[in-house]
Homo-oligomer: A and B are copies of this chain.
Amino acid sequence: MTDTGQNPITDQVYKARQFCEDKGARFTLLREKVYALLLEQQGAVGAYELLDTLKLTESNAKPATVYRTLDFLLEFGLIHKIESTNAFVACHHFDCNHPVQFLICDTCGDVKEIQSVGLKDTLDKQAQSVGFRVVNQTIEAHGTCAACQ
């Protein structure tokens, strides 16, 4: 599997494998499959919906199978969790250490990841002004995307 420039998903999976191996982490077949499934989806996917899809090729998959795999992908930043919907989305920029915010369209389900440093800094600053030290942020906006208006 190489970066051919032909298939965006294949290329992204390839990048993910390189990324993991560079960090000494094993990008197993299961992890690859789950990551690829998330790349194929548009919008976020719940763990059990993902499980159903995974079962098509991994008939013995169970909840723990999925959650363990998601935990790995989350830990290495290959995916993100949407807290307000308990769902997961693939990240395309896992190699660039970015702040994460989401715009979630409640009409079509589309999830757009934005990386606003300004937004992150604003929250950090607000916290700092009351002596709070931020370790991680959850910023999610629900509403209507451009296409749905």
Contacts and interface: CB of A to CB of B under 8 A. Distances in A.
A145 B123 contact: no
Of A116, A118, A127, most B-chain CB atoms within 10 Å: A127
Given A103-B127, A133-B149, A139-B139, 20 more contacts: A83-B83, A84-B138, A103-B130, A103-B132, A105-B132, A112-B130, A118-B126, A119-B122, A127-B143, A131-B145, A131-B149, A132-B141, A132-B144, A133-B144, A135-B143, A136-B143, A137-B140, A138-B138, A138-B140, A139-B140
A138 B83 contact: yes
Number of identical monomers bound together in the oligomeric complex? 2
Given A119-B123, A123-B119, A130 B114 contact: yes
A55 interface: no
Interface in A95-149: 101, 103, 105-106, 112, 114, 116, 118-119, 122-124, 126-127, 130-146, 149
Given A83-B84, A130-B114, A123 B136 contact: no
B139 A143 contact: no
Nearest to A147: B131
Contact of A122 (B122, B143, B144): B122
Contacts of A112: 130, 132
Contact of A101 (B106, B123, B142): B123
A27 B100 CA distance: 39
A136 B20 CA distance: 36
